[in-house]
Amino acid sequence: MGQDYGIKYWSAIEKLTQECCWVYPFERSCIVIERPNKYHFNESDRFHGEGQPALEFRDGYAIYAYNGIILPEKYGKIHPHQWQAEWILQERNAEIRRVLIQGIGYGRLCQELKAETLDSWREYTLLKIIGIPTYAEVNGQEVQEEPIHLLKMLCPSSNSYCKLSNNLDIKKSNCFLRIFY
C-alpha cells in the first residue's frame, strides 16, 4: 500500500509539473499558476512581443514586454513602428521612456521632436532634443534634468548613421567625443 501511495503521489507531482508553470506550496494551501498558452522571446531569450503580448494565458491575462522590460498594455499592444514620439513627453517612468526611445529610434525621434543642431565637426553632428521630461528624485523632491544630447555619426563598419546619447550639457561635438572616447 505504501508503494501505491508513492506511485500515485509521484504521478500527481509529475502531472502538476507538466501542466503548471509555477507552484508555491504552503503548509495548508498552495498557489498554482498555469502555463501561458503563448509566449514570445527575442534572440537574447528575453520576453519580447511587438504589438502582441510576450506572455498570454488562457483566461486572457497578458503581459507585454519589449526586450525583457515589462510594458503597460497601452504601449505593448501597439507595434513599435506605430509608437508616437509624443508619448515620451508624457511618460514619467524613465525605463519605459528608454524603451520607447529604443523602439521609436533616434532618427524618427529627432525628426518628430524637432531636434536642434548645436554643432558639426567633421562627420559628427551634435543634436539637442528639448521637451523630453527626464525626472530624478533628489532628497525626496522630483527635479527635472537636462535635455537629451545626441551625437550623430557615420559608423565606419556599417556605413550607416548611429547616435550616442548623453545628458550632459555639451555645446561642441568634439567635447562630446572626448567624454565618450
3-state secondary structure of 137: strand
Q: How far apart are alpha carbons 155 and 55 in whole angstroms? A: 36
Confidence of residue 175 (pLDDT cuts 50, 70, 90): low
Handedness of CA 91, 140, 168, 67 (dihedral sign): negative
The per-residue pLDDT for range 20-42, each reduced to its tens digit, is: 778 888 999 988 888 889 999 99
Q: Report domain extents, the chain.
A: 106-180
All three cell numbers of 66: 519589449
Q: What is the predicted pLDDT for the residue at 70?
A: 97
Q: What is the mean pLDDT of residues 93-116?
A: 88
Residue type, 151: L
- DSSP 3-state of 16: helix
- Mean model confidence pLDDT for the chain: 81
The per-residue pLDDT for range 130-152, each reduced to its tens digit, is 766 555 555 666 656 567 777 78
Which residue has better confidence, 4 or 129? 129
